[in-house]
Structure 1
Amino acid sequence: MARPLKYKTVEELQTAIDEYFQSCEGTVLKDEDEQVVFDKFGRPVIVGEKPPTVTGLALFLGFHSRQALLNYQVKKAFNDTITRAKSRCEEYAEARLFDRDGFNGARFSLTNNFRGWADKPEDSGGAAIADFLKALHPAPGDIAALYAHEADDGTDE
């Protein structure tokens, strides 16, 4: 006998998903006078902010694991809703590729949680994420070689 569905409607699931993403945003820190606290750069201090993840989404929705959420995604009625939520997690990780602090975690998440991201090119000849990431964050030796090549303008001085 199959277990009853955790969410009866797409709307009910979407409401819970929206609550998850809202919970990831954190809240603005206020002092005892209810004034917003700013950091040294003039930005409001946010407490409780956390990155949206597929596993975090699954646990927030009441599933026991990431895989349980993926199994639920197979149900036709919920496929688009869960796919869209996973895409929001993917978008966050992808944006962190451009952030020195989040680079390694984002790379790990993208290569392990989402299709189309891999450290090595697939047999289909698709572009490798490693080349993309190397272009974003070249090693010091790569930078030196680039400038050495630019300095060599072909003149015999």
Structure 2
Amino acid sequence: MAKTKHRFNNCESLNRLIDEYFERSKNDTGKNAEPVTLTGLAIFLGFTSKEVFDQYEQIVKYKESLMRARFRIMAYYESRLHFPSPSGAIFALKSMGWDEKVKDTRSGAKPQSLTVKVIETGPKPASAEKEVAL
């Protein structure tokens, strides 16, 4: 693993820094004044690249804290879906692994098909304008 000069020595100090990052992004009313981002969090924690951040997220003692922080950022972007023009939030969520496709979690499930039968009712449509009676 690449060396990094992060700002924490244990889980407790990591959790304090994560909370501090989210608190710093809020204004006096408690609303987010500055958007929280995964890159912003990584920089605040002292990481030098996304790859190193991802590697630390796989270390057992830091995994839960970093995954929870990532989840908090996803929650922020998810809340942005309710604003006009949520395309930036959609892009961010997709880059964090969200998928708009519905996945079938049933094991061995075969794709289902839908049969549509068209039933003609009423008068037959005119094939030419001269057939239309007014």
2-structure distance, mates of 1:64, 1:53: 15
Q: Match of 2:18?
A: 17
Q: Match of 1:61?
A: 45
Post-superposition Cα deviations, 1:67-123, rounded to whole Å, max 9, x if no partner, equal: 32111111100000001111100001011111114x01110000002x3x124x37x
2-structure distance, mates of 1:66, 1:2: 12
For structure 1, list consecutive stretches of 5 or more residues without a partner in the other structure. 29-43, 127-157
- TM-score under structure 2 normalisation? 0.67
Q: Is the 8 A contact 1:94 1:106 kept in 2?
A: yes
Q: Is the 8 A contact 1:58 1:68 kept in 2?
A: no
Q: Is the 8 A contact 1:20 1:57 kept in 2?
A: yes
Post-superposition Cα deviations, 1:131-150, rounded to whole Å, max 9, x if no partner, equal: xxxxxxxxxxxxxxxxxxxx
Identity across matched positions, percent: 32
Larger Rg: 2
What stretches of structure 1 move > 4 A for 4+ residues in a row?
none
In structure 2, relative to structure 1, the CA distance for the partners of 1:24 and 1:79 (3 Å cut) is same
Q: Match of 2:72?
A: 88
Instruction: Give, in angstroms, the shift of residue 51 of structure 1.
Output: 1.2
2-structure distance, mates of 1:82, 1:95: 20
Instruction: Give, in angstroms, the shift of residue 62 of structure 1.
Output: 0.9
For structure 2, list consecutive stretches of 5 or more residues without a partner in the other structure. 106-134
Give the SS at the match of 2:82.
Answer: coil
Instruction: Look up the equivalent residue of 2:9 and give its one-letter code.
Output: K
Q: Match of 1:39?
A: none
In structure 2, relative to structure 1, the CA distance for the partners of 1:10 and 1:54 (3 Å cut) is same
Post-superposition Cα deviations, 1:23-68, rounded to whole Å, max 9, x if no partner, equal: 111346xxxxxxxxxxxxxxx9x8x811111111001111112232
2-structure distance, mates of 1:74, 1:99: 33
Give the SS at the match of 1:97.
Answer: helix
Give me the CA root mean square deviation.
Answer: 3.1
1-structure distance, mates of 2:94, 2:35: 17
Q: Provide the aligned length of Structure 1 versus Structure 2.
A: 107
Q: Is the 8 A contact 1:58 1:69 kept in 2?
A: yes
Structure with the bigger RCO (C-alpha within 8 Å, sep 6+) is 2
- TM-score under structure 1 normalisation? 0.58
Q: Is the 8 A contact 1:17 1:57 kept in 2?
A: yes
